[in-house]
Amino acid sequence: MQLEEFLNNLLTQSGVSGYENNVASAVVEGFRGLYDEFRLDPLGNLILLKKGEGRGDEPRPRVMLAAHMDEIGFVITKVEDEGGLRFSNIGGIDPRVLPGQEVIVHGKRDLMGVIGSKPPHIQDHDEAKKAMKREDMFIDVGLTRAELEGLVSVGDTATIYREPIILKDEFLAAKALDDRAGVGVLFTCLEELSRMRHLADVYCVSTVQEEVGIRGAIVGTYSIVPDVGIAVDVCHADMPGVPEYDTVPMDKGPALGFGPHVHPRIYERLVKTAEDAGIPYQVDPSPYPGGTDAWGIQMAREGIPTALVSIPLRYMHTSVEMVCLRDIKRSGRLLARFISGLDKDFLEGLKCF
């Protein structure tokens, strides 16, 4: 399976935080032939293991690669008499992008719907000057309250509906690229490793519930106890109207995080690996490490040597998030070469921070 086909399938799956089962099934199928074992942990993390080439019974080093597979979405909070479904958000969503979005309501069966609100023609003067609040919006599936009885209940979830769009020059726009683009990096990495030799056992973890508190990474790391943990996520890409110091360019390679959550020796090895292999890369200063799985990995157990590799992405937390496929492929190649070059001396040195 090619990366483009894998991502197209993955990005059409619905999987808000806490409800990632469909996504996990698609990952297992898409990675088939690239791993030796897989399991789901009690929280729902999908853990794929590709074994290394250790000698005899000697313990093999463990490398954990983590990318979260959950997406932002909605939960139904009330069914109005007219049939409108009031909702709250799961994860961080800018309400200004919601009016007019197509959604899928996951009730007893999936129902297509749209997010509606009062049209500008009938808003009063003060309303017209302000952005619409989420509390003033509703999901309309075209049914009355009586018809919805038994189909949709308070507590059911909803996700944005959007087909991936292939743009020019290997650019891709879709919902949930934060962070299924990262899962695509893991896919590419294991494909590359299938043609390489490596000492370490590689645990590719599609984590859950990142968008509501980095929960999956904490639990997964506690279970695996890796010697090295690398989070793969997205960062803000260059776009009009945003200062350069807040973004990194697209199509210039992965952004390597550097900050208090990143072990300096892993960062240095990633840089050297990229330069030796001719893989373009960028530096992404990360003084506030709390927003990705890297924080969860670093803080597990007694502390895990951690790094962060990010894919530049435009329009984060919208239905048209955008990446360059070349950046995903470069990131996967970089991680594969980093893993294949690991030896015991390097790993031992990580203990001397």
Where do the domains of the chain lie, and which CATH numbers do they carry? Answer: 3-71+175-349 (3.40.630.10), 73-160 (2.40.30.40)
Which segments in the chain show pLDDT lower than 70?
Answer: 56, 125, 127-128, 352-353
| pLDDT digit string, tens, across residues 154-180 | 999 999 999 999 999 999 999 999 999
Q: Where are the alpha helices (DSSP H) in the chain?
A: 3-11, 21-30, 125-128, 145-148, 177-193, 215-224, 264-277, 293-298, 325-340, 344-349
- pLDDT computed for residue 127 by the predictor: 66
Please calculate the CA angle 210-163-217 and round it to the nearest 5 degrees.
10
* Helical axes 21-30 vs 177-193, angle rounded to 10°: 20
Give the 3-state secondary structure of 146-209. HHHCCCCCCCCEEEECCCCEECHHHEEEECCHHHHHHHHHHHHHHHHHCCCCCCCEEEEEEECC
**Residue 351: what pLDDT?**
74
Q: The pTM is what?
A: 0.95
Structure tokens at 286: 């990360």
Query: At a CB cut-off of 8 Å and minimum separation 6, what does 282 contact?
Result: 248, 249, 252, 253, 254, 255, 256, 312
Distance CA 160, CA 172 (A): 17
DSSP 8-state code for residue 13: S
Q: How buried is 131 (Cβ within 10 angstroms: 0-12 exposed, 13-18 middle, 19+ buried)?
A: exposed
Residues with catalytic roles = 210
pLDDT of residue 191: 98
Dihedrals φ, ψ of 270, to 5°? -60, -45
According to the model, what pLDDT value does residue 147 have? 95
- pLDDT at position 56 is 66
The residue written with tokens 């502390």 in the block is 303
Specify the pLDDT at position 128: 67
Residues whose CB is less than 8 angstroms from the CB of residue 308 and which lie 6 or more positions away in sequence, other chains included: 230, 231, 232, 233, 256, 257, 261, 262, 284, 286, 289, 292, 294
User: Which secondary structure element, helix H or strand E, spans residue 86, and what is its range?
Assistant: strand 85-90
